[in-house]
Amino acid sequence: MTTNIQVQPKLEFIPPNFNPLVFQVCEFVLPLWLRSRTTIAEIKAENLDILIDLYQKFQSNKIRFLMAFRHPSVDDPYSLMYLLTKLLPKAAKQQGVSLKKPTIAHFIYDRGIPLWAGSSVGWLYSQLGGTPIHRGKLDRAGLRSIRQLFVDGQFPMMASPEGATNGHNEIVSPIEPGIAQMGFWCVEDLLAAKRLEEVFLVPIGIQYYYIDPPWASLEKLLTQLEIDSGLSQSSTLEIATPDGMKFTSEKEAILYKRLYRLGFHILKLMEDFYTKFYHKTPPEISPDSVSNPSELLFLRLEALLDTALKVAEESFNIPTKGNVIDRCRKLEQTGWDWIYREDIKNLEALSPLEKGLADRIAEEASLRMWHMRLVESFVAVTGKYVYEKPSVERFAETTLLLWDMLTRIKGGNPFKRPKLGKQRVEMAIENPLSVSSRWDTYKASRRKAVNDLTQDLQTALEKLIIKNP
């Protein structure tokens, strides 16, 4: 894979600048966008009365709150905008509650999104009241903006505590403590201003279900992945169907075997790749030491992801420290530091030699970050996901993650995923978690208060997952 990455000036902060006209245009085109650019055909929400009450109190200056939403899909922003601009006002009207328009939120987004989605997206997010944050470093400008909006913004806040999409309907990635810390900062700033508003975090669940099970599309995609990975139909690798697994048809059982066979095949190719070219030999895991193929797949995948991160960390001279998500964020920020150079005040003043060296470093950084991007795509993969419940949604999510990986390796755009079929979106609002009531605990031990609130938020988001049979 080739790259034409060149050195860039430092990433500037994109200040939020809500524009009512831009919002009205987006609100108008949202239904058309959903129909034409996504697979979403229907959006429903439960417990809207909780959100109605919160917005009513917010607009009466009684509370401040942040909506912490699950992030399984890149389509989540459209689903959430539909929730706030369509479903919420409609439900409020039915209850005889008058809410001031617009019922939207200031949202926190990753500063990296405009880098791959285009600078126009950064402009649009700013006009819609969004504020960016660098995920891998102390972003003082971003944190100042978040704190100011949480305390004084004209709308509530919204953010994903998972930090990024994880591609899974029924798995919540380990959430980051930043959301809890933001809540306590808001309490602190309100007390300093002698204001009496109470602060809440509001868990919101989002799940996607196929209206018609797209088994035919899945089979076609799986066949293409087998071809792209060089897996022949005559492969001798056999996957036994575990005892107790329930399939609705023999065809599903065959697809299960093909999916796992493909997974093991890609794993072997990637293990050989890192062994041969990066001198990283994965640990030997005997099939006899595990109870089923899914456990073996998980252990080997976990070792492969660790290997890929170590390759990138060694090339950047970064110590291996923290969990997988922490390591990904650190690698991402280091790569950005090599591309978007804060130490170069004026790129135009560089000599041709200096510019050439800076371009070389930027190019190398992009290539080294490629290993991290592979890991990022699979950070929530357990290997047991389909084994535990062979639903069409779990089949599709796992197959699409494999498509992401192969697409990245081939040098394609992983954000242009195949559309397997129309989906309905089910959202649910959980009872809010009071941050203000934990203030005394925070004063006694900040770390304990943040950790406890983070764990309670994790539990609440997991509780919102609908375990459809």
In this structure, is residue 383 part of a structural domain?
Answer: yes
Q: Give the domain extent around 148.
A: 11-211+422-463
In this structure, is residue 358 part of a structural domain?
Answer: yes
- Same domain? 187 vs 265: no
The total domain count for the chain is: 2
- Same domain? 112 vs 186: yes
Phi and psi at residue 423, to the nearest 5°: -130, 155
Q: How confident is the model at residue 235, as a pLDDT?
A: 56
CATH of the domain at 429: 3.40.1130.10
Which positions of the chain have pLDDT values less than 70?
Answer: 1-4, 233-249, 467-469
Residue with tokens 């072997």: 268
- Smallest CA-to-CA distance from 84 within 112, 62, 55, 58 is with 55
Q: Evaluate the omega torsion of the peptide bond into residue 242 and state whether it is cis, within 30 degrees of 0.
A: no
106 and 129 in contact (C-beta within 8 Å)? yes
In this structure, is residue 108 part of a structural domain?
Answer: yes
- Same domain? 292 vs 352: yes
pLDDT tens track for 329-352: 899 999 999 999 999 999 999 999
The span from the CA of 171 to the CA of 328, in Å, is 19
In this structure, is residue 285 part of a structural domain?
Answer: yes
- Smallest CA-to-CA distance from 183 within 435, 459, 433 is with 435
In this structure, is residue 253 part of a structural domain?
Answer: yes
- Smallest CA-to-CA distance from 64 within 185, 179, 186 is with 186
Q: How confident is the model at residue 240, as a pLDDT?
A: 56
- Same domain? 203 vs 220: no
The span from the CA of 312 to the CA of 309, in Å, is 5
- Which of helix, strand or coil describes residue 200? strand
- Smallest CA-to-CA distance from 431 within 411, 450, 457, 410 is with 457
Q: How is residue 194 annotated by DSSP?
A: T
In this structure, is residue 167 part of a structural domain?
Answer: yes
For 396-415, give one letter per residue: b (16+ CB within 10 A) or e.
bbbbbbbbbbbbbbeeeebe
Q: How far is CA 60 from CA 48, 65, 155, 200, in A?
A: 18, 13, 12, 15
- Same domain? 148 vs 254: no
The span from the CA of 465 to the CA of 331, in Å, is 31
β-bridge pairing 423-429 and 40-46:
parallel
Please calculate the CA angle 387-423-171 and round it to the nearest 5 degrees.
40
For 105-129, give one letter per residue: b (16+ CB within 10 A) or e.
bbbbbbbbebbeeeeebbebbbbbb
- Same domain? 174 vs 314: no
Q: How is residue 393 annotated by DSSP?
A: H
Q: Token pair for residue 209?
A: 């279900």
Q: How confident is the model at residue 219, as a pLDDT?
A: 93
- Same domain? 151 vs 261: no
In this structure, is residue 417 part of a structural domain?
Answer: no
- Same domain? 170 vs 239: no
- Which of helix, strand or coil describes residue 414? coil
Q: How confident is the model at residue 236, as a pLDDT?
A: 53
- Same domain? 193 vs 261: no
pLDDT tens track for 225-283: 999 999 876 555 555 555 555 666 677 888 888 888 898 899 999 999 999 999 998 88
- Same domain? 20 vs 149: yes
In this structure, is residue 123 part of a structural domain?
Answer: yes
- Same domain? 229 vs 325: yes
- Same domain? 389 vs 241: yes
